[in-house]
Structure 1
Amino acid sequence: MNRRQFLLLATAGTLGSALGVSALMKHATAATPQCLYSASDNPAGGHFLTRLEISSGTLGSQAVPVRGHAVLPLADGRVLMFGRRPAFECVAVDFAKSGGVTPIQATAGRHFDGHGCLSADGGALFTTESAYDEKRGVLGIRDRKTFQHLGEYDTHGLDPHDVHLMPDGKTLVVANGGIEQHPDFGRRKLNLDTMQPSLVYLDAATGKKIDEYRLPDHQLSIRHLLVTPGGDVGAALQYEGDLHRQQPASLVAWQHRGGGLELLGINTQAITPFSGYMADLAFDPGRNILAVTSPRGNHVSFWGVAEQRFLHATPLPEPSGIAFLPEQQVFRVSDATGSLHTLASNRQQASASLLRQFPDQLWDNHLVIT
């Protein structure tokens, strides 16, 4: 693998969100995305990669052999869907070809952990994976066109879940969740007393570790990440301690560029409804508001990153994917009941508005718009 292949230009897999067709027509601009994509299930337990054509309102779902998590549209028109951990398969779907599903198999002794991103030139694909018998996390490296396995980088931690490209175009940031799992035990967590989550920065050209950050509570698993154009990083956390004994100090962390990884402030009464679980993130840079979904807590939470504290929360049933739309100054949110909502970017409490509902689409934790 040569150095040029792994120079990176921009963050891949930008999170997006869903729009109802009537709202789309009302607010349509040249910058309005044409399609949204999400992994989904149906009430019968089938797995799909779903696409909503925004201009027409046409909803199409391609059946896939694995439950999906994050999705990543490619420049050639295909869409990657990463298998939900622990998965031995991801898929590439070509909606232009009926039944155009290409499987991507994990290499021996590895399983996929749900996320991935592209290299600078779009030629290489990085995927979060676990070398489960070796008890270590890795980033798999594949050719983006053929998905041929080229190699891997060590993530210097267990359970790498999310990975993003930093704006410098040369650095990868990885969320090591810290949880040991093995496919012989399904999704059972094997090391909760000794887990060590970390936020690790890697040189994208060589895999060399540049830096590493940890939180004061080793049972706060670092799961999903958000990277701003300025190089700040937000992290959604999941608490693996005993909620009946105590609540975590926070469930959201923020790292200003060049600074430490800091928990955002919140009191016990406010954090209790989130049930120790945060999922997806989106950021309004104009107001410095971070929005984070809590599907187990049935709320979307809002945080002020300048003040480093919790602002308020809006109730929603099992909110999943979320994204900020700068043209409209709103957040869009999907939920596990098949609904799509809009939420104003506001420092005060505001209600969600239902945009559209698809009862047979049980959205997973992420949405992407193109």
Structure 2
Amino acid sequence: MNRRQFLLLATAGTFGAALGVNTLMKRAAGTPVEADTNLTHLYSASDNPHGGHFLTRLDMASGQLQSCAVPMRGHAVLPLANDTALLFGRRPAFECAVVEFLPSPLEGRREQRLGAGLGVRGIPATAGRHFNGHGCLSSASDVLFTTENAYDEKRGVLGIRDSQTFQHLGEYDTYGLDPHDVQLMPDGKTLVVANGGIEQHPDFGRRKLNLDTMQPSLVYIDAQTGKKIDEYRLPDHHLSIRHLIATADGSVGVALQYEGDLYRQQPASLVAWQSHGGELQLLDISAADVALFNGYMADLAYDPQQQILAVSSPRGNHTSFWSTRERRFLHAHSLPEPSGIAFLPQQQQFLVSDATGGIHRFPSTLQPAPASLLHQFPDKRWDNHLVIA
């Protein structure tokens, strides 16, 4: 891939806007800028109004916004070492992209024009496979696992690659169709995989081929051997298990997408929780409330202190909050296609991006509380995930 084909788009206007985001966030939290040392970069895939695809990084210390053009629409982001990040292609994708950013500018610099130092490297899918949007590193960070579809064989796999060279080393079966998200559990030995259960083939684009017989599953796999440790399913086989969050105590939150007929009935819930060592359970919600989300949940973030799970619903135009302690829905707030969510533990806040370029701040509370618009980036259409690293 020719590195010169990809340009970093950074303007004084967007830099000033990002600096405003940073300053507002600190002031709103009551945290001095110089004391907030744990916040570094915020990453997300994004599109522009003209259909261009980017990986965007916001330097939360200096406020500089950097956007790098990539050859495919991105989904999840995995920050790596040395100012690089891996952008996973949105399914069905035959390429992922490793983006090399330049180091953050010195304090006080208002603009940094970049180009020569920026690089993009493509990672091609292996023959007969396509990427499904997510991946994670091993406990030693030397191995990269990627969710993939072996489409002609009608099975899901985890691709295994060297995390430095990205050389393909092998693969594990995911014991189900359509693996979407994968996370490493806190024991450093176990992978948890969200098998969406949907048959797909690149000849049919994003068409779903087996909705009547789909069988989603949550599967735990030994990261060293690929052996299945355990498997969990929900009563409604139309609830596709899509996105995950693994907490420090070994619990797992699940965002679901309903593939049944919403005109006939609403799903019982769209969020599930599995306490460490327990069963996978749907969180309680009324039929009227679950209808707010139009059958579709996306990104998750978790506040372990309050035991609040935040989940975005871009198709429902709401951000939702759930109590994992009480196993129930708390409240929801209207936003235009909310996409990614990240939790800031020092500020006890959730950051939520949306498809119109907005970044919002929500306090982590059991009771409804208004959001604050930190800024509106007019040329950004944020994708489904936010990552802080």
* Fold agreement, TM-score > 0.5: yes
Q: Aligned letter for 1:253?
A: A
Q: CA deviation at 1:230?
A: 0.1
Map residues 10-159 of structure 1 onto 2, 5 A cutoff: 20-26=21-27, 27=31, 28=33, 29-96=35-102, 98-159=117-178
Q: CA separation of 1:347/1:172 partners in 2, compared to 1, >3 Å: closer, same or farther? A: same
Between 1:249-258 and 1:26-35, the stretch displaced more is: 26-35
Matched, 1:223 2:238: no
Q: Which has the higher contact order (CA 8 A, sep 6+)?
A: 1
2:379 and 2:254 map into 1 onto residues whose CA distance is: 30
Q: Deviations over 1:212-256 (max 9, x none)?
A: 000000000000001110000000000000000000000000000
SS of 2:187 mapped into structure 1 = coil
Q: CA deviation at 1:121?
A: 1.3
Do the aligned residues in 2 keep the contact of 1:82 with 1:115 (CA within 8 Å)? yes
Between 1:342-351 and 1:225-234, the stretch displaced more is: 342-351
Do the aligned residues in 1 keep the contact of 2:20 with 2:63 (CA within 8 Å)? no
Greater Rg over alpha carbons, structure: 2
1:32 and 1:25 map into 2 onto residues whose CA distance is: 12
Q: CA deviation at 1:25?
A: 4.6
Q: CA separation of 1:114/1:298 partners in 2, compared to 1, >3 Å: closer, same or farther? A: same
Do the aligned residues in 2 keep the contact of 1:24 with 1:54 (CA within 8 Å)? no
- Residue 9 of structure 1: aligned partner: none
Q: CA deviation at 1:31?
A: 3.3
Q: CA deviation at 1:24?
A: 4.2
1:81 and 1:68 map into 2 onto residues whose CA distance is: 6
Q: Select the residue among 177, 180, 183 that pairs with 2:199.
A: 180
Do the aligned residues in 2 keep the contact of 1:279 with 1:293 (CA within 8 Å)? yes
SS of 1:20 mapped into structure 2 = helix
Unaligned runs of 5+ in 2: 1-18, 103-115
1:254 and 1:36 map into 2 onto residues whose CA distance is: 26
Question: How high is the sequence identity, in percent, across the aligned residues?
Answer: 71
Q: CA deviation at 1:22?
A: 1.7
Between 1:81-90 and 1:68-77, the stretch displaced more is: 68-77
Matched, 1:366 2:385: yes
Q: CA deviation at 1:55?
A: 2.5
Superposition TM-score, scaled by structure 1 size: 0.93
Between 1:97-106 and 1:22-31, the stretch displaced more is: 22-31
1:309 and 1:234 map into 2 onto residues whose CA distance is: 13
- Residue 286 of structure 2: aligned partner: 267
Do the aligned residues in 1 keep the contact of 2:178 with 2:197 (CA within 8 Å)? yes
Map residues 183-332 of structure 1 onto 2, 5 A cutoff: 183-332=202-351
CA RMSD, Structure 1 to Structure 2 (Å): 1.3
Superposition TM-score, scaled by structure 2 size: 0.89
2:55 and 2:309 map into 1 onto residues whose CA distance is: 27
Do the aligned residues in 1 keep the contact of 2:320 with 2:331 (CA within 8 Å)? yes
SS of 2:374 mapped into structure 1 = strand
- Residue 15 of structure 1: aligned partner: none
1:238 and 1:323 map into 2 onto residues whose CA distance is: 20
2:161 and 2:243 map into 1 onto residues whose CA distance is: 22
Do the aligned residues in 2 keep the contact of 1:220 with 1:239 (CA within 8 Å)? yes
Return structure 1 stretches of 4+ with deviation > 4 angstroms: none
1:93 and 1:67 map into 2 onto residues whose CA distance is: 14
SS of 1:270 mapped into structure 2 = helix
Q: CA deviation at 1:19?
A: 8.6
